[in-house]
Chain A
Amino acid sequence: MSLSQDLERLTALDPEGEAVALGTLWRECPVVLAFVRHFG
């Protein structure tokens, strides 16, 4: 399975606490997906 296929199945939480499947984020357009070390 490719990296994007691995990631698209996973979820993250938006700032309101709602879970979002990562794959929906690049369904229609390309993304620059940046994982940061931490907030602050």
Chain B
Amino acid sequence: MRGIIDDIRSHGAELVVVGSGNVRQAAAFRDELAIDFPLFTDPSLRTYRSAGLKRSIGATLNPTLLGNAMRAFKKGYRQKRVQGDPWQQGGVFVIAAGGGVAFEQRSDAAGDHPDPGDVLAALMEVAP
């Protein structure tokens, strides 16, 4: 989603990221990548559970992992040491000002990400 942050902001919205590492890992991640959007962490995973996001060994060690990893590698992504829960999957939500979910995607496996175009289309529905 970082690749579309300018588009997100041009619609009067913000990208907010939540991770599962500890606070020190979040700070290091923010500093290392010079992150300028709100970044948070939830080591308890309560927010992940509340969002209905998967957590399982099978979702991480999934046959699609290899293809997803290759795709990411070709785009220049290099995974470093896992800082957080290795079995927790992610997801993306578009939430309107004041509440209301316009888009939701819950990853079935590691590397399962939504199409940025779909995220932006949903955002345009709720943008001011």
| Minimum C-beta distance from B59 to chain A (A) | 10
Shortest Cβ distance from residue A40 to the other chain B in the assembled complex, whole angstroms: 4
Is the CB–CB distance between B93 and A29 below 8 Å?
A: no
Q: For B96, give its contact among A5, A7, A15, A30 (CB under 8 Å).
A: A30
Residue total for A at the interface (Cβ-Cβ under 8 A): 33
Asked if B23 and A13 sit within 8 Å, CB to CB, the answer is: yes
- Are B96 and A33 in contact, CB atoms less than 8 angstroms apart? no
A34 to B21 Cα, complex, angstroms: 14
The total of interchain contacts (Cβ-Cβ below 8 angstroms) comes to 171
Given contacts A29-B13, A30-B94, A31-B14, contact A40 B25 (CB under 8 A): yes
Interface of A (DSSP majority class): mixed
List of A residues within 8 angstroms of B8 by Cβ: 32
Complex: how many Å from CA A36 to CA B47?
12
- B residues apposed to A, CB below 8 Å: 1, 8, 11-21, 23, 25-30, 38-43, 46-48, 50-53, 60, 79-86, 88-102, 104, 107, 110, 119, 123, 126-128
